[in-house]
Structure 1
């Protein structure tokens, strides 16, 4: 199905209402260093009356990723506490031609600890203290969509795969034109600058439940780049 989003002709100079969480499925092209390397699927599904799940799968289909059989999948099961996305469990699978690495994590909100097991460093298998508002990486992507407003600074705590890190995102004060394939639209640019000259950029369009583009950079050079091809409500 063609992408369901259109260019927004409105300047995003005013505050926008937070987008309510809804099921969706989105398809992306994946680029590495500017070259198309495969595809990706992101989806949010409602498991039952209380629980949701967000998934991201990346599959190499061309070039070096395809030859190496590189594939990655990550999922987070979560519930809603007010407007907070609260992770309950998280799983990651990374596959190559001759290897498969898998980790599983559980967030215990009674004990206020999270713990991962599987193919993970021993130092990351120890219980990690957690607090209200902690999220996995996939949930932070959804939170950015929900929270982004022009000029706003977004603060989150990333707790994922045995690691704890503060994440800060800065939303541009004005929207910018973004072209992906044959489509052009007005989007909010959201930047996260990490240590070691790493940067993540997310482009958010009003009314679209998923990022229209996610770009990772290292030392000023583009690395992984996910560009939305189509999406629909699930």
Structure 2
């Protein structure tokens, strides 16, 4: 669908409205499984639904989908809906989309949009990745300095594309590096995949999943678990100052 992850920035922008929540430690009996052949999922249309937790309590739900247009371009969408607690009272909702090309070894963002809606405010931002002229630029409800053109580099990713790129590129025990260019910001993201899969319980389902964590986030951690045969992360967790913050857990997914 942050989303970021989604990506962390996408989800934080919607749900963060209070201090970090109490830590939810991983189960003690969560053994690493023997290394197995890793088969990254092909890029195919899908729709995935997540439960969204904040402050240790269910806060709403999120939907991530990938669609393939008639013009050969792709689009990844994330929609997050606050339904309970503080997020529910304010009616917090956020939608983000990225249109992109699949160039085999890299997903190339072409345009991006973010819409935030709540009881007392609304916000919309749109951006274009102009690869012909080598720059990206956003407009809408943004500070002036974040509306300036940003020089592009091959491999640059939007927040939502990071999820898909991690799914495609992750290999057990290998580092991953991406340059994030989204909503007028540039950041370097470094990740590391675990050496072996581990058993991850998500609702009533159990997955043999590969843990991927960001290594240069400082006090702001992002952790994803991805599983063979599943086109989207089975869990996305953000942690602040060593404590769990936002937690997305996959409920179901299907081909679109």
Place the TM-score, normalised by the shorter chain, in its bin.
over 0.9
Structure 1 partner of 2:242: 220
Structure 2 partner of 1:43: 65
User: Secondary structure, in 3 states, of the residue corresponding to 2:233?
Assistant: coil
Could you tell me how far 1:172 is from its partner in structure 2?
Answer: 0.5
User: Secondary structure, in 3 states, of the residue corresponding to 1:116?
Assistant: strand
- 1-side partners of 2:129 and 2:83: how far apart? 34
Structure 2's unaligned 5+ residue stretches are: 1-31
Q: Does 1:75 align with 2:97?
A: yes
Aligned counterparts, 1:7-156, within 5 A: 11=33, 13-156=35-178
Residue pair 1:15, 1:149 contacting (<8 A) in 2 also: no
Residue pair 1:33, 1:221 contacting (<8 A) in 2 also: no
Could you tell me how far 1:175 is from its partner in structure 2?
Answer: 1.0
Structure 1 partner of 2:229: 207
Could you tell me how far 1:90 is from its partner in structure 2?
Answer: 0.2
Could you tell me how far 1:68 is from its partner in structure 2?
Answer: 0.8
Could you tell me how far 1:139 is from its partner in structure 2?
Answer: 0.3
Could you tell me how far 1:72 is from its partner in structure 2?
Answer: 0.7
- 2-side partners of 1:211 and 1:80: how far apart? 19
Structure 2 partner of 1:165: 187
Residue pair 2:51, 2:60 contacting (<8 A) in 1 also: yes
Could you tell me how far 1:48 is from its partner in structure 2?
Answer: 1.9
Question: TM-score, structure 2 length as denominator?
Answer: 0.85
Could you tell me how far 1:230 is from its partner in structure 2?
Answer: 0.3
- CA 1:50/1:147 → structure 2, altered by over 3 Å: closer, same or farther? same
- 2-side partners of 1:195 and 1:174: how far apart? 22
User: Secondary structure, in 3 states, of the residue corresponding to 1:134?
Assistant: coil
Residue pair 2:36, 2:196 contacting (<8 A) in 1 also: no
Task: Return 191-200 or 224-233, whichever deviates more.
Answer: 191-200
Tell me the matched-pair count.
225
- 2-side partners of 1:189 and 1:139: how far apart? 18
Could you tell me how far 1:11 is from its partner in structure 2?
Answer: 4.3
Could you tell me how far 1:127 is from its partner in structure 2?
Answer: 0.2
- 2-side partners of 1:195 and 1:50: how far apart? 35
Aligned counterparts, 1:223-234, within 5 A: 223-234=245-256
Pairwise CA RMSD: 1.4
Aligned counterparts, 1:183-194, within 5 A: 183-194=205-216
Residue pair 2:40, 2:228 contacting (<8 A) in 1 also: no
Structure 1's unaligned 5+ residue stretches are: 1-9
Which aligned segments of 4 or more residues in structure 1 are displaced greater than 6 angstroms?
Answer: none
Could you tell me how far 1:194 is from its partner in structure 2?
Answer: 4.0
Question: TM-score, structure 1 length as denominator?
Answer: 0.93
